[in-house]
Amino acid sequence: MSVDASVHLSVNGEPWHGPGRTTVSDIVASWCPSPNGVAVARNGEVVSKSQWATTEVSNGDRIEIVAAAAGG
């Protein structure tokens, strides 16, 4: 039985690791209670919601997950 290598990356500046073939959807689900009102950038490029389920992440990726915060 082959096991996919695990993937090591950063989410919002913190180290994160998971199984190989992890998608953006998986990371969002592990990070936020709800995907509503959330957006994701991978290495400085927006990954739109419609692409989350099919976008696999790679070692060393910088993932940013953002939402609304109070501000003027």
Partner 1 sequence: MIISNSVTAEAVAVRPDERAAGPAPDPWTVDGVALSSRVIMGTGGMSSLESLRSALVASEADMATVAVRRVDPAARGSLLELLREIGLRVLPNTAGCYTASEAVLTAQLARDAFETDWVKLEVIGDDRTLLPDPIELVAAAEELVEAGFVVFPYTNDDPILARRLQQVGCATVMPLGSPIGSGMGIANPHNIELIVEDAEVPVILDAGIGTASDACVAMELGCDGVLVASAVTRAQHPALMAEAIRDAVVAGRAAHRAGRIPRRRHAQASTSFAGMIEADSYGSGSGADSES
Is residue 25 involved in binding partner 1 (CB under 8 A)?
A: no
Q: Residue 64: name the closest of 48, 44, 49, 34 by CA.
A: 44
Q: Determine if residue 32 is left, alpha or beta; phi over 0 gives left, psi from -120 to 50 gives alpha, anything else beta.
A: beta
Residue from 12, 54, 58, 59 binding partner 1 (CB under 8 A):
12
Distance CA 56, CA 21 (A): 6
Least Å distance between CB 47 and partner 1?
Answer: 8
Is residue 15 involved in binding partner 1 (CB under 8 A)?
A: no
Residue from 5, 41, 60, 62 binding partner 1 (CB under 8 A):
41
> What's the N-to-C CA distance of the chain in angstroms?
54
Interaction site with partner 1 (CB under 8 A): 12-13, 31-33, 36-41, 44-46, 48-49, 64-72
